[in-house]
Every structure is written in C-alpha cells, then in structure tokens.
Amino acid sequence: MKQTNAKLILHPVRMKIIQSLINGKHLTVQQISERVGNVPQATLYRQLNTLLEAGFLEVTAENQVRGTLEKVYALKQPSIQSQEDLKKLSKEEHLQLFLLFQSLLIDQYENYLKNHDIDLIKDGVSYRAANLQLTDQEFAELTRKISDFLLEAMNNEPSPDRKSRNFATIIIPD
C-alpha cells in the first residue's frame, strides 16, 4: 500500500533527513548521518532510498572516494521562475513543496525551542489557524494590506534593537 506524502515525510528519520537538506544544502550520506544523529547506517540508506523513490530527493553528484562511489543528495525542487511555472506544477509537486515548507517551519521551531532562555510571550511566538469569511474583494484587500506591512518590515535594516523573526503564512480555501 502506497503511503501518502504527508505520512512519508512525517517519519522521524525521514523528517530529519529533509531538515538537514533545507536551504539548498547538498550533503553526502556521512554529512547527513552527522546531522540526523544516532541512526544505524542501514536505516539511513533505506530512508534515503524511500525519499529518492518518492521524488523528495535527488542525487546531485557522485564522487569517487577510496574505490567507492559517494553520492551527494539535495532536496528536489522544481524551478519556479514565474507564475506560469507555478501553474505547470502537478498537484503532487504542489503537495511536495508544501510539505517541504512545513518541514522548514518545524526545523525553525525546533531550533528555537533548543535555546535555553526561551520566553514564548516575550519572543512573540505564535501559531494559529483562523477561518475568515470574505468576499473575493475583501480577501484581495486583506492580502494587499498584509503584503504592504510585510514589505515595509522586510526593508528594515538589522540593528541592535531588532530581533530576527520568521513570519510564515498559509492560505487555504475551503
């Protein structure tokens, strides 16, 4: 029975593999192993192959090392240069991109929680889902206002008074 993509990447070892490759990293099995922790090598290879077969990973290079072939892995991501490219993606490719996006958020939140002195309130940590009843015009106006506020904030230069924060949005119609 074929697993859904969500179940496929929610496996703890596969999730760690994906998280280790986020932000365009290209890593060997040895480098991935160092990042995912205490995982037997056979398990790591099995999970890498599962992600390769599902189309989440690709081999970007093969290096000859001491008589063996060392593969370099990366997340497989379609080239999206325009809205037309986005429209050409299959439903499966859209789901894979969304799952990778979620993996990135999980990784960022996990890294935040690893800090010793966390204060969820002071740090402004928030996650929520809100169902909004809007006409198309109201929705367009809301997204324009949010975009304007975000662009203004994204233009802020780093300073000792400013703290880097990640802001993510997901809009899914019913």
Vertex 111: Cα angle to 169 and 167 (nearest 5): 20
Low-confidence ranges of the chain (pLDDT < 70): 1-3
| Average pLDDT value for the chain | 88
State how far the alpha carbon of 49 is from the alpha carbons of 54, 100, 138, in Å.
8, 17, 46
pLDDT in tens, 71-94: 999 998 777 778 888 888 888 888
Q: Sheet holding 27-28: strands in order across?
A: 27-28, 68-75, 57-65
Q: What is the pLDDT of residue 46?
A: 95
Q: What is the pLDDT of residue 87?
A: 86
Element (H, E) at 106: helix 91-113
Please report the domains of the chain, with CATH numbers, ordered by start residue: 1-121 (1.10.10.10)
pTM as predicted = 0.68
Q: Which of 60, 55, 87 is nearest to 74 (CA)?
A: 60
**From the CB of residue 106, how many other CB atoms can be counted at a distance below 10 Å?**
16
Q: What is the pLDDT of residue 43?
A: 95
Q: What is the pLDDT of residue 2?
A: 61
Q: What is the pLDDT of residue 79?
A: 72
